[in-house]
């Protein structure tokens, strides 16, 4: 009796396929090392122009005495987040677009029964910018965002805290070009604090003026 023959399965040859690499369209600024970020033009302007100008104006003997911007803090309070966490998520995403850095969440420090607020509940988000990112944001804020404020006539010079730091409140986040107005679900404001190393409010005011900060004109 003839043996049954079994057909040997022929394994299909693997076809070498070319690996397709998708290059990312961009990187979050927080994922990019500072050395990869181009030196901001306002930092160069500070070193080459502002320092000599303020040394002459205030009679400083060393560049180390010149007022210096140390950090910029952006804060968005979202009180409605206690009722709807989506409001907080939207704020986090918008602040990241504005600052180029992922925000941290701020939480209530104590419980307030009248507002149905419990300690530890997320109520907002904030970002602290330093070095290159700080100067890059300052440039965009002064030259692009601030002029888009409705009926803008300049910022008050009365918002210094007595220690050289300056704060300003923004009513609408849509002044920043990074925010797509068509995708905004609600108008939100934010507070911006410029932390400055200086001996007085007068020195800090002079520093911001040199940067071109749009203060109200004194008559």
Per-residue model confidence as pLDDT tens for the chain (219 residues): 455 555 555 454 544 433 333 333 334 444 544 456 688 899 999 999 999 999 999 999 999 999 999 999 998 876 655 565 676 788 888 888 888 888 887 666 555 555 555 565 666 788 999 999 999 999 999 999 999 998 888 899 899 989 999 999 989 888 888 888 878 777 888 899 999 999 999 999 999 999 999 998 876
Q: Which of 126, 115, 127 is nearest to 80 (CA)?
A: 115
Q: What is the pTM of this model?
A: 0.76
What pLDDT, on the 0 to 100 scale, is given for residue 14?
44
> Can you count the helices (H) and strands (E) in the chain?
5, 5
Could you tell me which CATH number the domain at 43-211 has?
A: 3.30.1440.10
Instruction: Domain ranges for the chain, please list them.
Output: 43-211
> Which residues, including other chains, have CB under 8 Å from residue 74's CB and lie 6 or more apart?
95, 98, 99, 103, 126, 127, 129, 190, 191, 192
């Amino acid at each position: 009796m003839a043996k049954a023959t079994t057909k040997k399965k022929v394994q299909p040859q693997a076809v070498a396929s070319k690996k397709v690499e998708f290059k990312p369209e961009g990187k979050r600024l927080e994922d990019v090392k500072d050395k990869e970020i181009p030196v901001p033009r306002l930092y160069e302007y500070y070193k080459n122009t502002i320092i000599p100008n303020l040394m002459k104006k205030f009679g400083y003997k060393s560049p180390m005495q010149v007022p210096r911007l140390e950090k910029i803090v952006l804060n968005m309070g979202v009180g409605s987040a206690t009722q709807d966490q989506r409001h907080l998520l939207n704020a986090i995403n918008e602040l990241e677009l504005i600052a180029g850095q992922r925000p941290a969440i701020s939480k209530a420090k104590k419980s307030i029964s009248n507002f149905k607020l419990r300690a530890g509940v997320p109520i907002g988000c904030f970002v602290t910018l330093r070095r290159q990112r700080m100067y890059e944001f300052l440039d965009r804020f002064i030259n692009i965002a601030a002029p888009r404020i409705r009926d803008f006539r300049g910022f008050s010079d009365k918002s210094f805290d007595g220690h050289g730091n300056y704060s300003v409140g923004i009513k609408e986040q849509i002044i920043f070009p990074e925010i797509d107005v068509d995708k905004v679900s609600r108008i939100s404001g934010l507070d911006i604090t410029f932390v400055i190393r200086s001996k007085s409010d007068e020195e800090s005011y002079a520093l911001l003026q040199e940067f071109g900060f749009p203060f109200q004109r004194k008559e």
